[in-house]
Structure 1
Amino acid sequence: MEELIAWLPAELTSLPRYVVALAIGLLMGLERERNPAAKAGLRTFALTALLGVLAAHLATALGEPWLIAVGLMLVGAMIIAAYVRAPQQADGDPGTTTVAALMLCYGLGVLVWHDETQLAVMLGITTTLLLYFKPELRGLSERISRRDLLSMLQFAVLALIILPLLPNRNYGPYGALNPYQIWWMVVLIAGVGLAGYAALRLVGQQRGAVMLGLLGGLVSSTATTLAFSRHARASRDMIPVAVIVIVLANLMVLVRLGVLAAVVAPSVLPQLLPVLLGGLIVGGIGAAYGVQRLRPQGELPELAIENPTELRTALGFGLMYGVVLLAAAWLSDLLGTRGLYAVALVSGLTDVDAITLSSLRLHNLDKLSVEGVVNIITLAVLANLVFKSTLTLAIGGGQMARHAIAGMGAAGLGLVAAWAIIRGFSA
């Protein structure tokens, strides 16, 4: 916009701001024009946006900032008076949405005058989307249960209340324990789990074994493996469904690890991502073959998964992560990288996230090389696949376990093959 202003005569340098505000008002007004009950439409919103720019212009030129507040009150009074004169609406809408939107439109005009053009445009588009998708948003709110709302509130407590209060300092032996960093990892894991949980709730659990496996793996691959191993033991007809769900849920572990690495230590991705992709590709081919051969059909059972943002669950992961981090720092100092490999094998049996985040943090502290991080994560994933294979055999029985272990074994084989190729190139 600065280049355009430079080409204009001095008396027209303010014109582009009025044009941008007019465009924002027209966009918002176009959506309201579609609503027969709205008392403000295309022209009203456009004029209100222009009024916002004009009020800010006059306030700046005259040195009277109170003019902006007066303009906002006049706009609010005008639209409220329109609804008071005709309160009955065909759809029962009291008109508060239009009142809020019109006052926001005025405020966006003020923002444009103060050179916040990009922010004003983004807010204008976002507001229009919120107005347009009213039926979808209302349907979403109706589908959200009390438990779902509780999950979101608990995540807000974890991320917005507890996290800012924690000290961002290193404590304990080797300076390995940083309360803020530990809880930030808790928030990260809870956020990934909540995303999968929300997707599972919105999509529904009866959309097919493939979808259930993918989303169940995002929330908790261990819970998914346990649940469907039990279903397979209870009914032989459930074996094809159980196999597909379990294999896909454990493939999603690799996706989770890629997301965690991208957030915590992006510099590791060039060497880690090919290894994870190797496991995903080979495991995905095996899963696709299983879907075609086993052809899972029939009614899917409910996947009972705990709230991933529950405070008890978060504290449990935070404690586990702190213990793994401390053990990793101690063994790294005592035995070097070989000590970390031992921690990876042991902790990876039950939880891959903790050792992954621990190794990524050590890398950020320059205590572990990228090659060491990749080796540790690979070992942890392999240990976890062995543990899940044992679970399927012990709980689901030999017939189901044979197929599930083949699928998870394909993922492990792809992981090892990709790791070997990367090592060969780097040697």
Structure 2
Amino acid sequence: MFNFIPAEVLKLLLVFFLSFLIGLEREEWKSISGKYAFGGIRTYPLIGLIGYSMASLSNYQMLPLTAGFLVIGSLMLLSYWHKIQTSKTAGLTTEMVGLTTYIVGALVFHDQLWIASTLVITSLLLLELKSVLESLAHQFSPEDILTFTKFLFLTAVILPILPNKNFGIFEINPFKTWLIVVAVSGISYASFILQKVFKNRGGLILIAILGGAYSSTVTTVALAKQSTSNAYSYPYSGGILIASGIMYFRLALLINLFNPQLGKELTLWFGLLAVTAITIGSFWSSRKDKNITESIQQKTEISPNPLELKAAFFFAFLFIIMIVLTHYTALYLGRSGLYLLAGIMGVTDIDPFILGITQSAGQLTSFSVASGAILIAASSNNLIKGIYALIFSDRRTGGQSLTLLCLLALLGLIPLWFV
């Protein structure tokens, strides 16, 4: 087409097409809502063509192009003034889209075709997803937004300026330390957001999956407590097993992020453990009436926000402690001491310990010893979660959960025979 049709013609066609899409969406919105809105299927293509023409006449000077933008902006201002005079609720979305259409025409003239197309597509998505985005905003509290803003400040502003070099005899790297905190919190926060989005929707399996990505221990305790108010045990014990299966996917992702060589040692086995736990847990959970599964889902609470800054700093502190503890254990007690420490760490949050191992594997400890320690820590954590389930749930659910998690823990230790 470029060989037979002049480039200027193709650009004009692109401007018309992109601005026509915006006009079509606005025309549809006016017909459905019955409310006043500036322009429609003819006006927006004209605005786009005016933007292209002004960019062409400007001869790469900004003043004429800016003057055209001010003229279009004045029309948008008059439209908004009319809107606030005739309606109690007046938004600026249509006026902003009009200004965007003008800019799209200018961008196409300057061969910024990708940016122009992206602006139009993004605008259409924002316009069409209005109700979805507004309902989503109501699911988050101001505290959640404030916490996320602080997290972005520490991630996007503070993280880049931290020194990316090792300090002291333990070779602690401030940048990598905080990067690990960001990675762990980011995965947990993604699960937190999905739980918000799917709140009061989906079944117990979905809750177990999202909760396992957040924290399998927290999910185990939450489901165990919920089981005391229900006569059925299979969905809860199956959900607890699923959450522990998701834990292996989560650990595999984190290990591969910070030590790919160590990840090669564990990813396949962790994947098999995860698939086995999720498959058996899903089958176990299905031994219950669907209607009761839905009522269980309505009662399950969302996990607490994982981006609280105190929790992030505490995780960083624990990570540094684990690096120091692992260093001395491996140095003076060897493999048996490290395995003993791994078993003890299963009682607590195993993320700091396992991520501490990723920093020493291949240097202070061999990959085989590091892999064994991680396997022991994960199995120990599964055993502890089984005990938690036995304590916090009814007797039947607790017994089933303990049995299933003990079996998963034993399966997790099989590779130790080959280390």
Q: What is the TM-score when the length of structure 1 is the normalising length?
A: 0.83
Whether 1:13 and 2:7 are equivalent positions in the alignment is: yes
**Closer/same/farther in 2, CA of residues 171 and 81 from structure 1, 3 Å limit:** same
- Which of 317, 322, 327 lines up with 1:324 in the alignment? 322
Partner of 2:199: 204
Distance 1:169 1:54, change over 3 A: farther
Contact 2:191 2:211 (C-alpha < 8 Å) held by counterparts: yes
Query: Quick one: structure 1 residues 172 and 74, their matched pair in 2 at CA, closer, same or farther if it must change by over 3 Å?
Result: same
Paired AA for residue 72 in structure 1:
F
The answer for the alignment partner of 2:33 in structure 1 is: none
In the alignment, which residue of structure 1 is the partner of 2:347? 349
Instruction: Figure out how many residues of one structure are paired with residues of the other and give that number.
Output: 410
Instruction: Specify the alignment match of 1:221 in structure 2.
Output: 216
Q: 1:113 to 1:339 in 2, by over 3 A?
A: farther
Cα displacement (A) at 1:138: 1.7
1:174 touches 1:330 (CA, 8 Å); kept in 2? no
SS at structure 2 position matched to 1:288: helix
Gaps of at least 5 residues in structure 1 are: none
SS at match of 2:121: helix
Structure 2 vs 1, CA of residues 244 and 17 (structure 1 numbering), >3 Å: closer, same or farther? Answer: same
Secondary structure at 1:189 match in 2: helix
Q: Is the 8 A contact 1:254 1:280 kept in 2?
A: yes
Q: How does 1:392-407 map to 2 (within 5 A)?
A: 392-396=389-393, 398-407=395-404
Quote how far apart the aligned CAs of 1:362 are. Answer: 4.3
Question: Deviations 1:147-168 (Å, cap 9, x if unpaired)?
Answer: 4334433433442344344333
Instruction: Name the aligned partner's letter for residue 357 of structure 1.
Output: L
Amino acid at match of 2:181: V
Task: Name the CA distance, whole Å, in 2 between partners of 1:123 and 1:97.
Answer: 14
1:193-342 pair list within 5 angstroms: 193-205=188-200, 207-232=202-227, 234-235=228-229, 237=231, 239-265=233-259, 269-293=263-287, 297=292, 299-300=295-296, 301-303=299-301, 305-332=303-330, 341-342=339-340
Distance 1:307 1:316 in 2: 15
The alpha-carbon distance between structure 1 residues 346 and 106, as it changes in their structure 2 partners (threshold 3 A), is farther
- Give the 3 Å change call, closer, same or farther, for CA 406–54 of structure 1 in structure 2: farther
The one-character-per-residue Cα deviations of 1:120-178 (angstroms, maximum 9, x if unpaired) are 22232111100111111122223333343344334334423443443333222231x12
Q: Structure 1: how far apart are the matches of 2:260 and 2:11?
A: 40
After TM superposition, the structure 1 stretch with the greater mean CA deviation from structure 2, 144-153 or 365-374, is 365-374
Aligned partner of 1:143 in structure 2 is: 139
Query: Does structure 2 retain, via aligned residues, the 8 Å contact 1:283–1:414?
Result: no
- 1:103 to partner: Cα distance: 1.2
Give me the whole-angstrom Cα distance separating, in 1, the residues matched to 2:378 and 2:92: 53
After superposition, the Cα gap between the structure-2 partners of 1:57 and 1:291, relative to the gap in structure 1 and judged at 3 Å, is same
- CA-CA distance at 1:78 after TM superposition: 1.9
Whether the 8 Å CA contact 2:163–2:174 is kept in 1: the answer is yes
CA distance 1:226–1:72, change in 2 (3 Å): same
Partner SS, residue 174 of structure 1: coil
Question: Which residue is equivalent to 2:72?
Answer: 75
Deviates further, 101-110 or 202-211: 202-211
Residues 350 and 378 in structure 2, CA contact (< 8 A), matched pair in contact too: yes
* Counterpart secondary structure, 1:35: helix
Structure 1 SS opposite 2:42: helix
Which moves more between the two structures, 377-386 or 335-344?
A: 335-344
Question: 2: CA distance between counterparts of 1:122 and 1:340?
Answer: 52
| Structure 1 residue 88: Cα displacement | 5.2
Q: What is the deviation of 1:13?
A: 3.4
What residue number does 2:39 align with? 40
Q: Residues 360 and 8 of structure 1: is their aligned pair in 2 closer, same or farther, counting only changes over 3 Å?
A: farther
Residue of structure 1 in register with 2:16 after alignment: 22
User: CA 1:321–1:205 in 2, change beyond 3 Å: closer, same or farther?
Assistant: farther
- Is 1:126 aligned to 2:122, yes or no? yes
SS at match of 1:187: helix
CA shift, 1:187, in A, is 1.7
Distance 1:65-1:223 versus aligned 2 partners, 3 A rule: same
Q: Alpha carbons of 1:349 and 1:70: their partners in 2 closer, same or farther (altered >3 Å)?
A: same
- CA distance in structure 1 between the aligned counterparts of 2:230 and 2:28, rounded to whole angstroms: 55
Query: 2:342 and 2:105 mapped to 1: Cα distance?
Result: 56
More moved, 188-197 vs 323-332: 323-332
Contact 1:192–1:219 (CA under 8 A) maintained in structure 2: yes
> Percent identity, aligned pairs only?
25
1:109 aligns with 2:105: yes
Which amino acid in 2 is paired with 1:290? W
**One-letter code of the match for 2:318?**
M
**Structure 2 partner of 1:179:** 174
